[in-house]
Amino acid sequence: MQKIGILEERVFDSSFTAAELRVLTELEQSGQTTASALARDLKMDNGYLSRIMTHFEKEGLIEKERSKEDARQFKIVLSKKGSKVCDEINEVANKIMLNIVSPLPVEDQIRLVAAMSTIDRIVNQPGQFERRVAETFILREHRLGDIGRIIHSCAVQFAADYGWNHEFEAELAALAAEFIRGYKPATDRCLIAEINGHLVGSVFVRAVNDNTAEAVLPYVTPEARGMGIGRHLLDAATVFARQAGYKKLVLRTESVIDFAGQMMKQAGLQLVRETPHRRFGIDSVGQDWELVLA
């Protein structure tokens, strides 16, 4: 907070206090409002807000118009000068944030966005942040070198998260080799989630038979979790499987992957079977999920 300047007496090198800036921001976002609505939404004392509004009016930052619905109320909007002032403050704020974020490694930038996503989901309505950050990552088909990166990232991360041993890496390598050798664009797909050229997620789709496709290894890197990327990957896999003419999509995962179950349910898959076993050096429960596409 100290780095971005909101603890300064005058915020973002402006002539405004933090309280005044809160009011300006609310006016900018609401378009038009009333003093009583502002006091309620900002949880601000009416007398204090009144002094701020008087100051804004003297500076020509706001305009008032008597409400047609209630003659006792005035509609308050930003004037052209007020809008210009807000634009200037936003520009300064963006520069400050860029100066802080730009020197960070891409992994840390992604982690920062994911942390903001967690805060937003707790404080604001669910799903609101995911819509705003959807444009920060792209989904694309795999290119040369991507699958090697997937093997390395998954093997290292699953060993760290769940204690999986070399057997998992061997299975990953075998899966990747089989996928590449038998790859048919009409029936197979490897989808990549990417942020600024940094691979942050993936999923394979391959044929089980003429009617059934298998989604294999949906994965999101730790720093990018909480951004809705896993859901977007599964949705894209489902769309592809349906367009390719498959009637069913199946997926196998392990119960120890705690976030997987919720992600599958959100994507519409249903848990059809659980099988206790020992795999990748640990005791676990295999889970089979299905989605009827027809």
CATH code for the domain of 38: 1.10.10.10
In the predicted structure, residue 179 carries a pLDDT above the cut 60: yes
Specify whether the CB–CB gap between 229 and 220 falls below 8 A. yes
Give the CATH number for residue 223.
Answer: 3.40.630.30
In a domain, 237, yes or no: yes
201-218 confidence digits (pLDDT tens): 999 999 999 999 999 988
Same-domain check for residues 63 and 179: no
Specify whether the CB–CB gap between 11 and 5 falls below 8 A. yes
Same-domain check for residues 142 and 233: yes
Same-domain check for residues 155 and 237: yes
Q: Label residue 66 by pLDDT band (50, 70, 90).
A: confident
**Proportion of the chain above pLDDT 70, given as a percent:** 82
Same-domain check for residues 92 and 147: no
Q: Locate tokens 């060993």: which residue? A: 159
- Using alpha carbons only, give the angle 97, 103, 108 rounded to the nearest 5 degrees: 85
In a domain, 85, yes or no: yes
Domain boundary (87, 103, 119) is at: 103
Reported residue count of the chain is 294
Rounded distance between C-alpha atoms, residue 163 and residue 158, angstroms:
7
What is the pLDDT averaged over residues 145-170?
Answer: 91
Structure tokens at 284: 């676990």
Same-domain check for residues 96 and 150: no
230-280 confidence digits (pLDDT tens): 888 999 999 999 999 999 999 999 988 877 777 788 888 899 999 999 999
Per-residue pLDDT, 134 = 47
Same-domain check for residues 260 and 171: yes
Same-domain check for residues 76 and 139: no
Its pTM stands at 0.57
Same-domain check for residues 80 and 141: no
Dihedral sign (CA 23, 91, 132, 1): negative
Same-domain check for residues 97 and 140: no
Residue 283 domain boundaries: 135-292
What is the pLDDT averaged over residues 69-89?
Answer: 79
Q: Where is average pLDDT lowest: 2-6, 84-88, 187-191?
A: 2-6
In the predicted structure, residue 90 carries a pLDDT above the cut 90: no
Interhelix angle 18-30/80-101, nearest 10 degrees:
110
| Structural domain count, the chain | 2
In the predicted structure, residue 27 carries a pLDDT above the cut 90: no
Same-domain check for residues 154 and 201: yes
Structure tokens at 285: 């429960």
Same-domain check for residues 142 and 229: yes
What is the pLDDT averaged over residues 72-85?
Answer: 82
C-alpha pair distances (Å), 150 with each of 189, 203, 288: 14, 9, 22
Tell me the sheet residues that pair with 66: 74
Specify whether the CB–CB gap between 265 and 287 falls below 8 A. no
In the predicted structure, residue 39 carries a pLDDT above the cut 60: yes
Per-residue pLDDT, 130 = 47
C-alpha pair distances (Å), 239 with each of 102, 142, 191, 293: 35, 17, 12, 9
What is the pLDDT averaged over residues 155-162?
Answer: 89
Same-domain check for residues 202 and 273: yes
In the predicted structure, residue 133 carries a pLDDT above the cut 50: no
In a domain, 216, yes or no: yes
- 286 or 225: which carries more pLDDT confidence? 286
In the predicted structure, residue 9 carries a pLDDT above the cut 60: no
**Proportion of the chain above pLDDT 90, given as a percent:** 35
